[in-house]
């Protein structure tokens, strides 16, 4: 599989995503500068974490205007698989590829720690290597991960099983205490109605190797490979 990792000015998890796909999963990776306008030959797109354009305005608000975003939108519209992680998720929201918006964390602080998320929908291209209801330990690292949307959209997402990952306790209970940032309905990750675009705040690329003590994140990427029928 040929994975395209988009590099915005200020992206800082681009190398981490490249490392996981290339060195851990043995796929070919192309780093795509934000000024590019074509995604020719790319099988899946990753919008990595970071602080695109410094995030001095609303997170992701400037990155959505980057030239490459036109190509990303077209790619998604054609059914191509897109994953936005952390700042990538925020950019997908700003670009309208996923519904909703991010507020500042409830604590008003940046939070970096392991959290637990429950796989609410294991029948997606990004979770099919997981069991339904499986609890994954994946770290978060963000200041603006407090997901919000209007009640109508939320109800629609719930009805369509678009809420893929929710913050939970280590035992899998979805409680307010397990919610690190105040996110609506404990939302940690969502997909679009078509199921080919995923946005998630936790960083699966940070826990995909034994040497880092946790490989739960690998399941997200393995799901994608499985969905794309790639042999690893």
Partner 1 sequence: MSLVITKELIAQHNLTDDEFKKIVEILGREPNLTELGMFSVMWSEHCSYKSSRVHLKKLPTTGPRVIQGPGENAGVVDIGDGLCVVFKMESHNHPSFIEPYQGAATGVGGILRDVFTMGARPIALLDSLRFGGLDTAKNRHIVKGVVAGIAGYGNCMGVPTVGGEVVFNDIYSLNPLVNAFCLGVAQKDKIFLGTAAGVGNPVIYFGSKTGRDGIHGATMASDSFDDQSEKKRPTVQVGDPFQEKLLLEACLELMAGDLLVGIQDMGAAGLTSSSCEMASRAGNGIDLDLTHVPRREPGMTPYELMLSESQERMLMVAKAGKEEECIRICKKWDLDVAVVGKVTGSGILRVLDQGKVVAEIPAKSLADDGPRYERPFSPPGYQDMLTNLNYDALPDVKDANAALLALLESPTIASKRWVYEQYDHMVRTNTMVRPGSDAAVVRIKGTNKAVAMTVDCNSRYCLLNPYEGARLAVAEASRNLACSGAEPIGLTDCLNFGNPERPDIMWQFVMAIEGMKDACEHFKIPIVSGNVSFYNETNGLSIYPTPMLGMVGLIESADKTMTQWFREDGDDIILLGATREDLGGSEYLKVQHSREQGSPPYLNLETEQAVQHCVLQLIRTGLIQSAHDCSDGGFAVALAECCMSGPDQPHGAVVRLTPGRQRNDSMLFGESQSRIVVSAKPAQRQAILDQAQQMGVPATVVGVVGGASLVIYVGGERSTTKTVDLPVATIADRWGLSLERRLSQE
Active site residues: 86, 203, 205
How far, in Å, CA of 217 to CA of 221, rounded?
Answer: 7
Residue where the block lists tokens 């992206």: 11
CB of 99 to partner 1, least distance (A): 27
Contact call for residues 56 and 48 (beta carbons, < 8 A): no
Residues in 186-225 that interact with partner 1 by CB under 8 A: 203, 205-206, 209, 211-213
What is the pairing mode between strands 111-119 and 2-7? unpaired
Contact call for residues 82 and 125 (beta carbons, < 8 A): no
Site mask for partner 1 (CB under 8 A), range 133-152, x = bound: ------x-x-x---------
Which residue, 108 or 159, is less far from partner 1 as judged by CB? 108
Show the CA angle centred on residue 196, arms to residues 193 and 202, nearest 5°. Answer: 95
Site mask for partner 1 (CB under 8 A), range 71-100, x = bound: ------------------------------
Binding status of residue 161 toward partner 1 by CB under 8 A: no
Residues in 35-54 that interact with partner 1 by CB under 8 A: 49-51, 53-54
Cβ within 8 Å of residue 75, ≥6 positions away: 39, 42, 45, 82
Q: Which of 21, 46, 55, 221: binder of partner 1 (CB under 8 A)?
A: 55
For 93-226, strand residue ranges (E) read 101-103, 111-119, 135-142, 146-148, 163-168, 187-191, 197-200
Q: Which of 9, 70, 172, 182: binder of partner 1 (CB under 8 A)?
A: 9
Which residue, 55 or 94, is less far from partner 1 as judged by CB? 55
Contacts with partner 1 by CB under 8 A lie at 9-10, 12-13, 15-16, 19-20, 23, 49-51, 53-56, 109-114, 139, 141, 143, 203, 205-206, 209, 211-213
């Amino acid at each position: 599989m040929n994975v395209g990792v988009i590099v915005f000015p200020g992206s800082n998890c681009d190398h981490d995503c490249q490392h996981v796909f290339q060195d851990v999963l043995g796929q070919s990776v192309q780093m795509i500068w934000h000024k590019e306008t074509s995604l020719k030959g790319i099988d899946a797109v990753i919008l990595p974490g970071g602080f695109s354009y410094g995030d001095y305005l609303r997170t992701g608000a400037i990155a959505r205007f980057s030239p490459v975003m036109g190509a990303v939108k077209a790619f998604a519209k054609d059914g191509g698989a897109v994953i936005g992680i952390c700042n990538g998720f925020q950019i997908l929201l700003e670009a309208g590829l996923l519904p909703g918006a991010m507020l500042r964390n409830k604590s008003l602080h940046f939070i970096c720690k392991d959290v637990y998320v429950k796989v609410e929908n294991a029948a997606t291209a990004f979770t099919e290597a997981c069991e339904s209801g499986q609890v994954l330990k994946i770290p978060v690292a963000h200041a603006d991960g407090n997901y919000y949307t209007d009640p109508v959209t939320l109800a629609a997402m719930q009805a369509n099983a678009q809420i893929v990952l929710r913050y939970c306790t280590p035992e899998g209970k979805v409680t307010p205490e397990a919610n690190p940032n105040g996110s609506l309905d404990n939302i940690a990750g969502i997909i679009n109605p078509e199921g080919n675009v995923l946005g998630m705040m936790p960083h699966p690329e940070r826990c995909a190797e034994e040497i880092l003590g946790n490989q739960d994140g690998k399941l997200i990427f393995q799901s994608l490979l499985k969905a794309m029928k790639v042999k690893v």
